[in-house]
Structure 1
Amino acid sequence: MFRRIADLFKDRSPLDELVVVEAVDQAMNAAIDQARATLDVFWTKFDAGEADEFQLKAGLTTPNGAIEHVWLRVSGRQNGRIVGRLGNQPVDLVDVNIGDEIQVEPDRVSDWAYFKAGRQYGAFTQRAMLDRADPRTRRQIEAVLSPNPLETDA
């Protein structure tokens, strides 16, 4: 399923995937707050293995002091840190590449998503950015997103 989402962007360069959002963006900050407030839902599904793919978005500090948010394909937790492989090519993080395994502190999480039965749950920041996407990309993302970020049993 992760490849299916990545395929949405195959005709675009890595720079096209970068979306710059101001730190004071209210919609994005609300989405991050909602993702963090419901992170226990993600970990419950992860621990139970109740989905096909598990991803977290983490904000990492770049060499110039900015924060770049990247998706991780989560493989587990180790010594209080989250372990995963980069799901997209960073733009300003010069020492890591797509597919590299990294560890991040839990307080760096800015979003979560999991894929179940062909639908993506969570993805709060993606949902917040839908109205800013071009029409084609928006239709493609909406085709995968679940109607609600949380399953009814969450």
Structure 2
Amino acid sequence: MTFAVRAMLCLALVLCSGTARAQATDPYDDRVTIFATGDPEMAAATEQALASLDEFLKLAEAPPPGASRFKLKVKVKDGNVTEHFWVVPFRRTETGFVGILSNQPAEVHNVVLGQNIEFTRDDISDWGYTRDGHQVGSFTVCVMFKKMSKEEADHLRTKFGFDC
């Protein structure tokens, strides 16, 4: 049986919004895109992210000039439901990682926006950061653009520096 996977897409800055999401620890708005478990494009994006995860983690520990907003996307399970969230900021621990959940959950009920969560490397599905105004990584976001209208995807690419 296939279960829907909720992939949280944090893109639009909430600078003028009066919603509760404007109080998030990460100044991104939530966009929910549903992918079936095993979606080939999402699986390929996750594989690409994980193949370069070690390089990203080294870079996050000693960021070069112009690099900031290092983030990890992690999966959270609640029974048979899985959602993916950006965690910003994050840090390594003896057993894995800890960081602040930066999206409002839509389907899982065992975490909340702004909560410190602990996770392991096995929970990571993507990574990203900003370098000189351009997004680096965020491979799953590029897949999500394909499910948006061209206008919305182009707007977000331009506003946040995505090159995909």
TM class, shorter-length: 0.7 to 0.9
Report the equivalent of 2:163.
147
Distance in 2 (CA, whole Å) between partners of 1:125 and 1:74 is 19
Distance in 2 (CA, whole Å) between partners of 1:31 and 1:4 is 17
Report the equivalent of 1:122.
137
Report the equivalent of 1:107.
122
Distance in 1 (CA, whole Å) between partners of 2:20 and 2:150 is 18
Deviations 1:95-147 (A, max 9, x none): 32211111111111000001122221100001112121123320232112343
- Relative to its length, the structure with more helix (as a share) is 1
Deviations 1:8-58 (A, max 9, x none): 9x59998x7221101121111000000000112211210112321111111
Q: Which blocks of at least 5 consecutive residues in structure 2 are unaligned? A: 1-9, 22-29
Distance in 1 (CA, whole Å) between partners of 2:11 and 2:121 is 26
Q: Is the 8 A contact 2:11 2:31 kept in 1?
A: no
Report the equivalent of 1:60.
76
TM-score by length of 1: 0.80
Q: How many residues were matched structurally?
A: 143
Distance in 2 (CA, whole Å) between partners of 1:18 and 1:82 is 24
Moved >4 Å (runs of 4+): 10-14
Please say if 1:44 is aligned against 2:51: no
Identity %: 29
